[in-house]
Chains A and B, each alone.
Chain A
């Protein structure tokens, strides 16, 4: 130890980035290789008996998932969100949400809603805190199991986005309960509707089934690529539009603000699918298979909700049109990653 060690060239960044010319961004510095259970040359995810139950779970449902890439650490969230970016953006956006909540509350708008629309809110909107919480749980699982911290962080932030959405729904539930005392909003009504209303049952079936899907690649595909793009279109875009048609501008505005979270999730989810397919062509067939399995389930969920939107509002929307819109939204999002010809072309032209 006494002899002088030759002084190597000073580092500019973590050795984990290898020999690079470009300095990694702050996003990359704080996101890269954070999850040690995904490190190279490990015998098992956890530093314990390789055949312990936790190790077998991660081996089966993460490492052996059909969704594969040869180096997950190369994945990047197109939005490059860090924790700091996230709380800054969301605090800003919540200020806007509070602004419109105050503005419409001052105008007494909740009390002035038409009866058919109040019923729609009570049937479709206030009970939706249950499925959104289900999304929150599934997204947490995706983050828990993801094969790189780049995906865990994106999914962790998306998990928090669902809590944000439940919070907004909860706030409005109370507001509507106060403004519409003769409705049963804010009672055990919401849970009953979610558990028994025929319009909700296909959606509940979908959420419960994805909750019980443990292969991380399939859970990710089922939720982020199939169920959410379909139901976001019904519960966010179309519901917002119908709200505006029915004189509920506040709902329309709020959905506009919160939809930014959905769009951000869509961007990284599609980027992730493209990344896996480009790195490992067999991932394409896995995604195809899962999309084919979950699409009818998502369509049925949309169809069920569409029946509510066709029945209760003063100014309703045709159920088939709602369902078709949702399906088209999903297909539009997945277009780039599903068409086999395009997928093959991508792989052969790296």
Chain B
């Protein structure tokens, strides 16, 4: 005798909804958390996941994954690979550990919300597996990051980042609170599993595991590829929710997906963009960030939303143009305000690297070359202090990232500009037009002080760089600095700025 097949009995696990009578339905499934909106309640009875899994299968599979991931880690711990890793790659891992570990945990809190308020029993069961998966991701990422704390204090930010008021975690908390935990579960299932997990985490995980292997960091590649294998299971909560919402309220579906795609794209430009185009050693780069976005996100994304009968987001042109600018501007911002980050941002603008950038982004020299030349000249004049920040940039009131996007003017000159909005007696600044539009539409939720607002209101004391670093929780042992100034400046010792910049452009276009 063998056991009954899952298909024979799983219907009973999925069929667990009943009609409450002692308490109003609305008291158990408050609209505010459930967000059924224009979708009739009965419509959720049709919610069905495509990839079924049972509890005993789950624990058996996951036990195997856990033991193999930790076995690889234990084996590698005995070899001394960490010391041999490139500084740029190490920075990419620090960014990842600090920027991701607790985001995985925010996903635990979000999945638990769907496990409670999801509008169908099988959805709530899926979310129950989902919260387990995310607990795994949070724990494994935290534990792997912890291993290096003794060797480099910046890894302390694996756990610390999101407990601080550093500008990077403020921006990320704002994004992830708003799409993983705070929304009603219908919006949440579209923002987290649908947009973020099926779209963007692929980018982070596929790109980074390839880069990790190139850089010889087998342990890291092992960790993130194992994490990625869990996504297929819980990310499928998005599809069935999307189908039902699109059928009954396509306008809302379009808005929710557009808003979360935009927010995710901004955050990835800040984190994945610099890691791919600047931190990864030149010889290990396979694709530029733009090429990667085109291959892995854009085609697939447009394809997916069109399958659901939705349109390209209203901001599409602005987004596509931004693939050539956002992450370059943000990279420069991260490098310039390097004392505020928990990794060592490489400038990555040696001659060869610039040639590569110019070949991938034909406008790069035109827009960014002269700004880096100023930095290069200061470093070569032995005046690094002049390249350090004394002020703060405007921060966007929607994405909370610096307003540092260059756009072309009529005369062909590229200029950094901000979009503004006067609302309720106050002037708001935005990095992009779409950030301004999203703010306006969602202003009850997102209207929230940026770090600059806090600074100007006197909440940060003293009002200088020291006071700001202290407010951000930054300590001298974790403060970012360029790992090797010589690496990107020695090519230019003794040269005239104009000439070299121009020569690089020429070389790239020949």
A and B found bound together = yes
Residues of A participating in the B interface, judged by any CB pair closer than 8 Å: 1-2, 5-6, 8, 10-16, 26, 29-37, 39-41, 45-50, 52-54, 82-84, 86-88, 90-91, 94, 97-98, 101-102, 105-106, 129-130, 133, 136-138, 140-141, 143-144, 149, 152-153, 155-157, 159-160, 163-164, 166-167, 169-171, 173-175, 186, 190-191, 194-195, 204-205, 208-209, 211-212
A52 contacts across to B, CB distance below 8 A: 182, 444-445
> Complex formed: what's the CA distance from A50 to B448 in Å?
7
Closest 4 CB pairs of A and B: A170-B12, A140-B115, A47-B173, A174-B9
Contacts A91-B63, A212-B28 given: A205-B22 contact, CB under 8 Å? yes
- The stretch of B36-44, B120-128, B363-371, B501-509 in contact with A is B120-128
> Complex formed: what's the CA distance from A191 to B23 in Å?
17
Confirm or deny: B135 has a beta carbon within 8 angstroms of a beta carbon on chain A: yes
> Complex formed: what's the CA distance from A170 to B3 in Å?
13
B316 contacts across to A, CB distance below 8 A: none
Of B18, B115, B132, B150, the contact of A83 (CB 8 Å cutoff): B132
Inter-subunit contact A47/B55 (CB<8 Å): no
> Complex formed: what's the CA distance from A102 to B4 in Å?
9
Inter-subunit contact A208/B28 (CB<8 Å): yes
- The stretch of B138-146, B201-209, B210-218 in contact with A is B138-146
Inter-subunit contact A156/B112 (CB<8 Å): yes
Contacts A8-B153, A130-B18 given: A47-B170 contact, CB under 8 Å? yes
> Complex formed: what's the CA distance from A160 to B143 in Å?
23
Confirm or deny: B19 has a beta carbon within 8 angstroms of a beta carbon on chain A: yes
Q: 8 Å CB contacts to A: which residues of B456-488?
A: 476-477, 479, 481-482
A184 CB to closest chain B CB (Å) equals: 14
Interface of B is mostly: helix
Inter-subunit contact B181/A54 (CB<8 Å): yes
A156 CB to closest chain B CB (Å) equals: 5
Of A84, A102, A169, the contact of B3 (CB 8 Å cutoff): A102
Interface of A is mostly: helix
* Chain A: CB-nearest residue to B158: A14
Of A10, A30, A91, the contact of B143 (CB 8 Å cutoff): A30
Can you name 15 extra interface pairs (CB under 8 A) apart from A141-B116, A163-B129? A1-B482, A5-B479, A8-B477, A11-B153, A14-B158, A35-B105, A46-B173, A53-B445, A54-B181, A94-B56, A144-B112, A163-B125, A164-B55, A167-B55, A170-B11
Residues of B participating in the A interface, judged by any CB pair closer than 8 Å: 1-4, 8-13, 15-16, 18-23, 27-28, 32, 54-56, 58-60, 62-63, 66-67, 70, 101-102, 105-106, 108-109, 112-113, 115-116, 121, 124-125, 127-129, 131-132, 135-136, 138-140, 142-143, 146, 149-151, 153, 156, 158-160, 162-163, 165, 169-170, 173-174, 177-178, 181-183, 338-339, 384-385, 388, 444-448, 476-477, 479, 481-482
> Complex formed: what's the CA distance from A227 to B121 in Å?
22
A149 contacts across to B, CB distance below 8 A: 105
23 contacts between A and B (CB under 8 A): A10-B150, A10-B153, A11-B156, A14-B158, A34-B108, A35-B105, A36-B106, A41-B165, A46-B178, A48-B182, A54-B177, A102-B3, A137-B124, A140-B128, A140-B131, A155-B112, A156-B112, A156-B135, A163-B125, A190-B12, A191-B15, A211-B20, A212-B27
> Complex formed: what's the CA distance from A32 to B392 in Å?
32
B139 CB to closest chain A CB (Å) equals: 4
> Complex formed: what's the CA distance from A155 to B124 in Å?
15
B23 contacts across to A, CB distance below 8 A: 208-209, 211-212
Inter-subunit contact A83/B139 (CB<8 Å): yes
Inter-subunit contact B109/A144 (CB<8 Å): yes
Of A48, A91, A141, the contact of B112 (CB 8 Å cutoff): A141
Inter-subunit contact B12/A160 (CB<8 Å): no
B182 contacts across to A, CB distance below 8 A: 46, 48, 52, 54
Inter-subunit contact B156/A88 (CB<8 Å): no
Contacts A47-B170, A167-B56 given: A133-B16 contact, CB under 8 Å? yes
Of A84, A164, A173, the most chain B CB neighbours within 10 A belong to: A84
A48 contacts across to B, CB distance below 8 A: 174, 177-178, 182, 445-446, 448
Inter-subunit contact A14/B63 (CB<8 Å): no
A223 CB to closest chain B CB (Å) equals: 12
B482 CB to closest chain A CB (Å) equals: 8
A25 CB to closest chain B CB (Å) equals: 11
Of B15, B20, B160, the contact of A15 (CB 8 Å cutoff): B160
Inter-subunit contact A34/B115 (CB<8 Å): no
Inter-subunit contact B163/A40 (CB<8 Å): yes
Of B3, B112, B129, B160, the contact of A16 (CB 8 Å cutoff): B160
Of B27, B151, B174, B476, the most chain A CB neighbours within 10 A belong to: B27
B63 contacts across to A, CB distance below 8 A: 87-88, 91
Inter-subunit contact A49/B446 (CB<8 Å): yes
B139 contacts across to A, CB distance below 8 A: 30-31, 82-84
Of A5, A83, A98, the contact of B135 (CB 8 Å cutoff): A83
* Chain A: CB-nearest residue to B12: A170
> Complex formed: what's the CA distance from A225 to B28 in Å?
21
Of B59, B66, B131, the contact of A143 (CB 8 Å cutoff): B131
Inter-subunit contact B22/A204 (CB<8 Å): yes
B153 contacts across to A, CB distance below 8 A: 8, 10-11
Inter-subunit contact B124/A101 (CB<8 Å): no
B443 CB to closest chain A CB (Å) equals: 8
Inter-subunit contact A160/B128 (CB<8 Å): yes
> Complex formed: what's the CA distance from A83 to B69 in Å?
13
> Complex formed: what's the CA distance from A33 to B102 in Å?
9
Contacts A156-B108, A208-B23 given: A47-B102 contact, CB under 8 Å? no
Inter-subunit contact A174/B12 (CB<8 Å): yes
B169 contacts across to A, CB distance below 8 A: 36
> Complex formed: what's the CA distance from A133 to B124 in Å?
9
* Chain A: CB-nearest residue to B64: A91
A163 contacts across to B, CB distance below 8 A: 13, 55, 125, 128-129
Of A11, A152, A157, the most chain B CB neighbours within 10 A belong to: A11
A45 contacts across to B, CB distance below 8 A: 177
Of A1, A40, A87, A170, the contact of B9 (CB 8 Å cutoff): A170
A129 contacts across to B, CB distance below 8 A: 12-13, 16
Of A140, A152, A164, the contact of B124 (CB 8 Å cutoff): A140
Contacts A1-B384, A36-B102 given: A152-B445 contact, CB under 8 Å? no
